[in-house]
Amino acid sequence: MSKEFYSSSEFEASSGLDLDAQIELLAEKFCSARRIAFLTGAGISTDSGIPDFRSSTGIYQTTSEELFSIDYFLANPGDFYRVFAVFYRGIVDAKPNSGHLAIAELERRCGKAVDVVTQNIDALHSVAGSTNVAEIHGTIRTASCLSCEKKYAQDYFDSDMRSGRVPHCACGGVLKPDVTFFGEQLPEQAFVQARRAMWDARLLVVAGTSLQVYPAAGLPRECDAGAPFVVINKTPTPLDSQASLVFHAPIGEVLPKAVSLISPKS
Ligand SMILES: [Zn+2]
């Protein structure tokens, strides 16, 4: 099997295999790739109890997207934080699941660089132990002052956000969670890191995202044309037809098994 390039005929051949055989193929790809990148979305965190914002049971079914627009936040921080408290508690109290842990374990077992680019704001990849994480929609674990831009860690604002109070900077300014609101630019540094991860990847695994939201959905196109990619998502994605392996199966079923097949690097 070629390490560097997988044709669509390989996909057609592998798609006829049963799940365990496809998981073995994935483990082989992990071993042979010089550098691995993951692009993850809400689907990897649903097993941690964090709802997908856009799915049929997601947050946007019961809450207007306007709540997460920067204009609404700036005009109504008090109203925002009263509603936000329930989301905040649900996200910061969540624990990494077997999918997050498998990616962190892969990095330890392979002893090679594993870049994680995530659309999620829950920081669960870092909590699980992944070391190269680009959070392209920001993180709920820090917040910054709208007046002086000072950044605060979670301990500082945790009790205010939990109870729906507006957190304030030492300077008196209002703190805003460091997540990307509608109407805001993505964090530049994280996006540069994400593109670099795509360029460097010799294997890309797209997990738990149906790649509907740009610019994140465009990131796989930054990869080298010869780098194979794998899709693990409950529902079909626009990339499925070009992927060398496609799993429409739970991440928690595929990734831990694939990683367990890799011998730990001594
Ligand atoms: Zn300030």
H/E stretch holding 231: strand 229-232
Q: What are the tens digits of pLDDT across the range 221-234?
A: 999 888 899 999 99
Mention every residue, 6+ apart, whose C-beta is less than 8 A from residue 96.
48, 104, 124, 125, 127, 128
Query: Separation of 105 CA from ligand 1 center, angstroms?
Result: 39
Query: Separation of 67 CA from ligand 1 center, angstroms?
Result: 23
Query: Separation of 258 CA from ligand 1 center, angstroms?
Result: 46
Q: What are the tens digits of pLDDT across the range 26-70?
A: 999 999 999 999 999 999 999 999 877 655 555 555 566 788 899
Q: How far is CA 131 from the centre of its chain?
A: 14
Cα 155 to Cα 50, 100, 142, distances in angstroms: 21, 23, 9
Cα 222 to Cα 116, 178, 188, 213, distances in angstroms: 15, 26, 16, 16
CB 91 within 8 A of CB 50: yes
The model carries a pTM of: 0.89
State the average pLDDT for the chain: 89
CB 82 within 8 A of CB 165: no
Mention every residue, 6+ apart, whose C-beta is less than 8 A from residue 234.
43, 248, 249, 250
| Cα dihedral 257→262→264→266 (10° resolution) | 180
Cα–Cα distance, 130 to 264 (Å, whole number):
16
Q: What are the tens digits of pLDDT across the range 155-192?
A: 999 999 999 999 999 999 999 999 999 999 988 999 99
Weakest mean pLDDT among 44-53, 84-93, 137-146: 44-53
Question: Which residues have a catalytic role annotated?
Answer: 137
Query: Which residues lie near ion ligand 1 (Cβ < 5 Å)?
Result: 145, 147-148, 150, 169, 171, 173
Q: How are beta strands 114-118 and 132-135 bridged, if at all?
A: parallel
Query: Separation of 171 CA from ligand 1 center, angstroms?
Result: 4
pLDDT for 55: 55
Cα–Cα distance, 81 to 161 (Å, whole number):
7
Cα–Cα distance, 129 to 47 (Å, whole number):
17
Query: Separation of 167 CA from ligand 1 center, angstroms?
Result: 11
Query: Separation of 148 CA from ligand 1 center, angstroms?
Result: 4
CB 5 within 8 A of CB 228: yes
CB 167 within 8 A of CB 160: yes
Domains and CATH numbers, the chain: 1-50+96-137+185-266 (3.40.50.1220), 51-93+143-179 (3.30.1600.10)
Strand partners, 36: 114, 203
